[in-house]
Structure 1
Amino acid sequence: MRQFELESVEKVDQAVASQRDQRRDAFVAGGTTLLDLVKLDVMTPERMVDVTHLPLKRIEKLDDGRLKVGALVTNNELAHHELVKRDYAVLSEALLAGASTGLRNLATTAGNVMQRTRCPYYRDPAMPCNRREPGSGCAALDGINRNHAVLGTSNRCIATHPSDMCVGMVAVGATIVVEGPQGSREIPFEDYHLLPGDTPEKEHDLKDGELITHVILDAPRAGGQHYLKLRDRASYEFALASCAAIVELDGDSVASARLALGGVATKPWRAEAAEKALIGQPATRENFERAAEVALADAVAYSHNGYKITLGKQAIVRALRDATARTTATAA
């Protein structure tokens, strides 16, 4: 059994001071991903810092209309919060589509943001993986890659980002607040997760000693919202393709749109080009299909996952259809 030191902290500055090197020190709260990876010998921290006692469990509305979510708010608490259900329905739906009730009762907001890929080659120390061991190779490139990404890939890594919550947060817009040795700083949510490129081992924009303290959701956006998740089974399962859509109509035409994709990319994916293609266009299936083509135009298929390009387009069309229907219903 691997041994590690366990330390518990009650103040944010204590937590920041306690983590010196991300490779050796790890923050743990719900532990729904971290402890699995430790058991598999994928992550080998010498010390874990228990942050469950930090005062980061509140959800509060700010004066500018944004919603401030503490890092330790659980996925179920966030999904069922009155303001989230009312103003950020797409995020609530995304959270409830993820994992199981038991896991959502443990998993935290910051932990979900930090969630690691479910790539089986990453999770098997016997297999080469550039994300786990830089320079060792990517077994998925020529292996069984049915569940792997078609957007944001590189010749070093094609691992899919697994989070549903993060897709919802990209759609609504958010900012990640971190506290570190140099003080507090804010990171736009879309910039937090990094593309693999030549350095797939660098998964996020978090420096040594930095701790996520909050996620601040943008002020609510006008329009109908919907999160659609396509998977192999209806119960606890990761997405093959998903889409978070927010659509505002001006008459019969699209006034504004936000689209985020999951299950098809190496990070939570904002489909900005598809959003622009929708603006000013009638909210018809034909135009939704055109936007879907734009969103997946740069997709690259590998030996077993070409179906994800078609599936991703279908997810976009259906999510836009349902979000638009909700916009119309609200207006009526």
Structure 2
Amino acid sequence: MIPFQYVRPSKQKAAIEANAKDRNAQFIAGGTNLIDLMKRGVMTPEKLIDINRLPLQKIERSKNVVRIGALASNSNVAEDKVIQEKLPLLAQALNAGASAQLRNMATVGGNMMQRTRCPYFYDTAMPCNKREPGTGCGALEGFNRMHAIFGFSDMCIAVNPSDMNVALVALDATVLVAGPKGERTIPFAEFHRLPGDHPEVDTTLQKGELILAVDVPDNPYAKHAHYLKVRERTSYAFALISVAAALDIENNIIKSARLAMGGVAHKPWRLTEAEKALAGKPVSEASFKQAAEVAMRGAKAFEHNAYKLRLGPSTIIQALKTAAGIA
């Protein structure tokens, strides 16, 4: 690990200024991902700006919106009564991620910013455009069992590792950020990027911007929601494929739906066309199979992850059945 400066501002403005004026500075909160990357030499910030003194831990509901502070821990969010009552899909997704010890340390903002777990990104001896632009993508012709089937480019086929992000994109969340130019909001669906020609850039944050909170509007999906995560082992493993499913049902008819997948793209993958396919349909396995077919259109596999083309629709169907209470 290289030497680095460490500062711990107590004011939001000071934290933003410290980041904005230093090209190679990083905010740090729980550090559950960043410290690992620093130890491996994958990320080498020259300055760490510890933001734990900032008052960004609150979870509160007002004006039909639940606001979750960026420094709220994953465990506190998952256990919060408002979250469990109003946003059970989010609580389920958080509890599916990592271990209890990591959830106690990891923050909402940090979870949003965590980097891919692609082994070629972590191995500094291998080519990786995300870690070192212009070196190539080792996963393209390498072992790509965990990699993307949607939204990839010939520069990068890595996936976003977060469970929380899948639930938040399905729930139409927005992100409140502050930077040198003031505050702005970003729709959660636009917060993370597809790789394109610049896979080293994960988000649409601008230099110096700090995540303050995530806002989730009230929704009619609390009664029928389920987060299903398929992984190689049940404890502390990243998703092969995950599905966030939420339904608004009246008289056995689906009034509206929310669907998103994890483990399939460089960003949490919202399934808007499948949602449209479900609207107005009866609650039935046939409706869910049709939606799964729509959801998987455009998916493309590589040498080692063709199983995702079969696992994807079956996971969608099962998540919808569980959410609807028929399985």
- Quick one: distance in 2 between partners of 1:298 and 1:22? 41
* Contact in 2 for aligned 1:172/1:221 (Cα 8 Å): no
Aligned residues: 326
- Quick one: distance in 2 between partners of 1:319 and 1:187? 28
Q: 1:7 to 1:43 in 2, by over 3 A?
A: same
TM-score of the aligned structures, taking structure 2 as reference length: 0.97
Q: What amino acid maps onto 2:258 in structure 1?
A: R
Q: Do residues 149 (structure 1) and 145 (structure 2) align? A: no
1:138 is displaced (CA, Å) by 0.4
Q: Do residues 79 (structure 1) and 73 (structure 2) align? A: no
1:185 is displaced (CA, Å) by 0.4
1:250 is displaced (CA, Å) by 2.6
* Contact in 2 for aligned 1:21/1:208 (Cα 8 Å): no
- Quick one: distance in 2 between partners of 1:302 and 1:68? 39
- SS of the aligned residue for 2:103 comes to helix
| Aligned pairs for 1:59-78 within 5 A | 59-62=59-62, 64-78=63-77
* Contact in 1 for aligned 2:261/2:270 (Cα 8 Å): yes
Unaligned segments of structure 2, at least 5 residues: none
| Aligned pairs for 1:263-278 within 5 A | 263-278=263-278
1:213-257 per-residue CA deviation (whole Å, 9 max, x = no partner) reads 111111133451110000001111000011011111132221100
- Quick one: distance in 1 between partners of 2:85 and 2:315? 23
TM-score of the aligned structures, taking structure 1 as reference length: 0.96
Name segments (4+ residues, structure 1) moved above 3 Å.
none
* Contact in 1 for aligned 2:179/2:210 (Cα 8 Å): yes
1:21 is displaced (CA, Å) by 6.1
| Aligned pairs for 1:18-33 within 5 A | 18-20=18-20, 24-33=24-33
- 1:300 is matched with which residue? 300
Unaligned segments of structure 1, at least 5 residues: none
Report % sequence identity: 48
- Quick one: distance in 1 between partners of 2:71 and 2:321? 34
- Quick one: distance in 1 between partners of 2:303 and 2:65? 43
| Aligned pairs for 1:1-332 within 5 A | 1-20=1-20, 24-62=24-62, 64-222=63-221, 223-325=223-325
- Quick one: distance in 2 between partners of 1:123 and 1:22? 24
Q: What amino acid maps onto 2:306 in structure 1?
A: G
* Contact in 1 for aligned 2:194/2:267 (Cα 8 Å): yes
- Quick one: distance in 2 between partners of 1:257 and 1:298? 21
- Quick one: distance in 2 between partners of 1:132 and 1:221? 41
Q: Report the RMSD for the aligned CA atoms in angstroms.
A: 1.3
- Quick one: distance in 1 between partners of 2:96 and 2:89? 11
* Contact in 2 for aligned 1:176/1:216 (Cα 8 Å): yes
- Quick one: distance in 2 between partners of 1:275 and 1:83? 26
- SS of the aligned residue for 2:198 comes to coil
- Quick one: distance in 2 between partners of 1:23 and 1:256? 45
- SS of the aligned residue for 1:77 comes to helix
- Quick one: distance in 1 between partners of 2:191 and 2:155? 20
* Contact in 2 for aligned 1:193/1:204 (Cα 8 Å): yes
